[in-house]
A and B are shown apart, each in its own frame.
Chain A
Amino acid sequence: MGYDKLLKLMFVGVFVLMVSSLYMIFVYAPVEKTMGWVQKIFYYHLAAAFTAFLAFFVVFVSAIIYLVKKESKYDIVGESAAEIGIVFTTIVLISGVLWAKPIWNIWWTWDPRLTTTFILWLIYIAYLLLRINLRDNVNMPTYAAIFGIIGFLDVPLVFMSIRWWRTIHPVVIRRTSIGLTKEMINVLIISIIANIFLFVVLLMLRVRIGKVQNELEVIKSIMEEELDRSKV
């Protein structure tokens, strides 16, 4: 199957999964007794957080492979995954703020979970800024890969922050139990799958653009060399 056909199929898959998850969130999932309707933010909030972690894990893995093999395609995958990871972390932060206001009566608090997530967002923005500023440096992909590996250390910190420190953020998934009804778990699983599918489609698109951009840079440098030679 060709790349374009696969991408089109993936788009259809994302559409179907997203519509199904929205239907399940607003129709199938029960309304939580204490928080009411606003609790339904949870399904995309957690799914986006899970997807952001996955994106940063892709950055981490591709950075290691890049350092071993030194092939530019892994650098492109890392850059693309970091960009999409930032998109999903932005969604997590904004949906968290919108959920916090009616429940905690405050938009933002410097709670360990919120703070570590905000730091995670800043780390990967710094990662992209590093890439932009060192664009003309031949060692840029190596520096970015090292940054990507070190930056990933914050992901387990974000996950464990609500277990290690005193926090107002709820712990839904525990080792022994999940604080959700069976219907809520089903909706959560579908939402996570839909978000992962969306991530994969965005990653495929972004990697392709990155590859074309790289090829274009190669063509431009060859043309410049030809121009210089013709001047001599």
Chain B
Amino acid sequence: MIYLAMAYIIFWLIIFFYLLRLNKRLSRIEDELKEILRQKGSERGS
């Protein structure tokens, strides 16, 4: 029974960590985009 529980828990843990990794990648893209917009804004301002 312990092996069965472990198998299903690990299945969801792997999917969860993969989704977390995708989310991290998305946040990084968002940060880079914000940085570009900030640079563009300061260029126009000057």
Contact = CB atoms under 8 A, between A and B. Distances in A.
Interface of A: 22, 37-38, 40-41, 44-45, 48, 84, 87, 90-91, 94-95, 98-99, 101-102, 198, 202, 205-206, 209, 212-213, 216, 219-220, 223
Given A91-B11, A94-B7, 16 more contacts: A22-B8, A44-B11, A45-B7, A48-B11, A87-B14, A95-B7, A99-B3, A99-B7, A102-B3, A198-B15, A202-B19, A206-B22, A209-B22, A209-B25, A209-B29, A212-B26
B32 A216 contact: yes
Interface centre among A48, A98, A102 (most CB of B within 10 A): A98
A22 B8 CA distance: 9
Interface residues of B, number: 20
A205 B21 CA distance: 12
A37 B6 CA distance: 13
Contacts of A101: 3
Contacts of A223: 36, 39
A37 B1 CA distance: 6
B1 A220 contact: no
A211 to B, nearest CB: 11
Interface centre among B1, B15, B18, B32 (most CB of A within 10 A): B18
